[in-house]
Amino acid sequence: MDNQDRHVLTVDPHPLLDLRAFVTVFPAELGNIASSAELLDLLSLDAQTPLRSGDEIRSAVRDLLRQGGFKPTGRSKPASEYLIKAAEQGLLSPINVAVDACNVVSLHSGLPISVVDLDLACEPFRVAIAPPESSYVFNRSGQTIDIGRLLCLFDSEGPCANAVKDSQRTKTNPETRRTLTLIWGTNKLPGHAAAADAWYWEFLKAHGARLESVESVE
């Protein structure tokens, strides 16, 4: 990882969280970078990949999200499970290289991943359980999600991402140049988050991106 810049992420103590976080600096605005054919081919459940999801992974991820009292079921199930369903239905389409790489790794690893526009979010960053009855808008239509008791990424303005649905406020767009990525891993799956992290970097570097370290502190 390049060490030209360091970013700090405060992480509240958590018995299960195995978080991986990094910043990506792209060589151009996302709207001007095409995802490679090799990357897009992996947006399929039939693709041959080094990581595979399964029932054990889905169960461990749900246990991670239940820790604060959140119920990761129905419309509040982990984002990685939404990706599997979308892929099964042939609905997983390219968006931009940042999101496409995220979706490929999340789809096949079974780990939910958040990607936020670093220039739309406001440091300092913290990972913590959201207070009861917290919510935010998660899409362009203005729909909201109840994120109370869910493990979330907070910036100076409040919660902005989690393992279910990220906030519309900090989502990537065609002008995005820098992103903060969080892989929501669990220590019930030793080494799995690290493997997903390493595979993810390969895709980003292949598209000319530079990676910057994120220092996690309690």
CATH number at residue 162: 3.50.40.10
Count the residues in the chain: 218
Closest CA to 186 of 132, 128, 112: 112
Closest CA to 149 of 36, 65, 211, 56: 65
Q: What is the pLDDT along the chain (218 residues), one digit of tens a residue?
A: 344 467 899 999 999 999 999 999 999 999 999 999 999 999 999 999 999 999 999 999 999 999 999 999 999 999 999 999 999 999 999 999 999 999 999 999 999 999 999 999 999 999 999 999 999 999 999 999 999 999 999 999 999 999 999 999 999 999 999 999 999 999 999 999 999 999 999 999 999 999 998 988 98
Domain of residue 28 covers: 2-217
What is the total count of domains within the chain? Answer: 1
Predicted pLDDT at 154: 98
Vertex 49: Cα angle to 170 and 153 (nearest 5)? 20
